Chains A and B, each alone.
Chain A
């Protein structure tokens, strides 16, 4: 299986533009997460989902929206991109709380 995949791998946006990052997992995991990582820092949780049709806010949710219409997909949207959202975004999933989290390869986003 492919594990956790993310689309796209790289993207450059202008301030005010919108985009959607797609995350897919083929491990039948219930939980999915979106993190951002700024240079030299740890991962900060943006939003997460505990199952199909559910979403919840993490540490830094402002400026982002998410949807989990299908169990295998978790979408992260930026409605109006800002330079402060320049970061590497990681999607992850896990079967249930307490089990290993599997991460995707990341999406490097630059907002100019």
Chain B
């Protein structure tokens, strides 16, 4: 099963960049790498996704390793509002109908220190 591994927790100082790693050594060619975050008492929120190339949006950047076995979510300047649980998951472009591709792990709890 294609799944992801993330550190349980990370800390960052406010206004500094944060690099959140994710390992997905069994990724297949049709898997997109997705990142979501969940603020306290809220539903998860989409952050960014990519397939092979690095991606940027207003929230974050996604750096994907050349072999696609790992990726890094980059928050360029962490704010207190970025404190959340960050989930890295794999989403297949072509559905095989398998539920394993829709599974979230425990994610990384990011603490931002003022």
Q: Could you list which residues of chain A lie within 8 angstroms of chain B, going by C-beta atoms? A: 33, 35, 41-45, 48, 50, 56-59, 90, 92, 96-106
Q: B100 — nearest CB in chain A belongs to which residue?
A: A59
Interface residues of chain B, those whose CB is within 8 Å of chain A, are 30, 32, 34, 36, 42-46, 49, 87, 91-95, 97, 99, 101-107
Cα distance A90–B43 in the bound complex, in angstroms: 7
A55 to B87 alpha-carbon distance, docked (Å): 25
Residues on the B chain within 8 Å of A99, using CB: 91
The residue that B107 contacts in the complex, of A42, A45, A97, A105, with Cβ under 8 A, is: A42
| A97 touching B101 in the complex, CB below 8 Å, given contacts A42-B106, A42-B107 | yes
Report which of B49, B87, B94 forms a contact with A100, defined as CB distance below 8 A.
B49
Contact A45 B32 (CB under 8 A): no
Q: Which residues of A contact B44 (CB under 8 A)?
A: 43, 90, 92, 101, 103
Point out the residues of chain B lying under 8 angstroms from A59, CB to CB.
Answer: 99, 103
- State the CA gap A98–B91 with chains docked (Å): 5
The residues of B that contact A35 with a CB separation of less than 8 Å are 104
Q: Name the B residues within 8 Å of A102 (CB-CB).
A: 46
B107: A residues at CB distance < 8 A: 42
A94 to B110, CA, bound (A): 26
CB distance from A27 to the nearest CB of B (A): 12
Residues of the A chain whose Cβ atoms lie less than 8 Å from the Cβ of B93: 97-98
Contacts of A50 in B (CB 8 A): 95, 97
